[in-house]
Amino acid sequence: MKSLENRPYSHPRPSCNLSEMERAATNALQAGETLTSTETAYHTAMQAYVAECRGFINQGDYHLPPVPQLKDFDVELAAYKEDNGGAA
């Protein structure tokens, strides 16, 4: 699965990058492929992130929150870290 978190972000046209992020997340969710719960949560969070960022940009605020990270949605990784004292 491709992660969207490492895509470059350029200030002059942030709405173009947000559109690309939204399109990738929407395509993944609608592709008809079976997604894991982690993938579904991640792509859904990306859609919410884009909506939130558009609100900021529309108000002239270009200080956007951090992009959701796929690793933050991986329940198995989180459980492993918890069982092993935070080491991954």
Domain boundaries, the chain: 14-83
Query: Residue 81: its pLDDT value, please?
Result: 72
Q: Is 47 exposed, middle or buried (0-12, 13-18, 19+ CB in 10 A)?
A: middle
d(CA 52, CA 37): 22
Model confidence pLDDT, tens digit, residues 36-79: 889 999 999 999 999 999 999 999 998 899 999 988 888 776 67
Predicted pLDDT at 10: 45
Going by pLDDT thresholds of 50, 70 and 90, the confidence category of residue 4 is low
- 88 contacts 80 by C-beta, under 8 angstroms: yes
Q: Which residue has the tokens 């690793």?
A: 71
Task: Express each pLDDT in 5-35 by its tens digit.
Answer: 544 444 445 656 899 999 999 999 998 788 9
Cα 47 to Cα 61: distance, rounded to the nearest angstrom: 19
pLDDT score at 8:
44
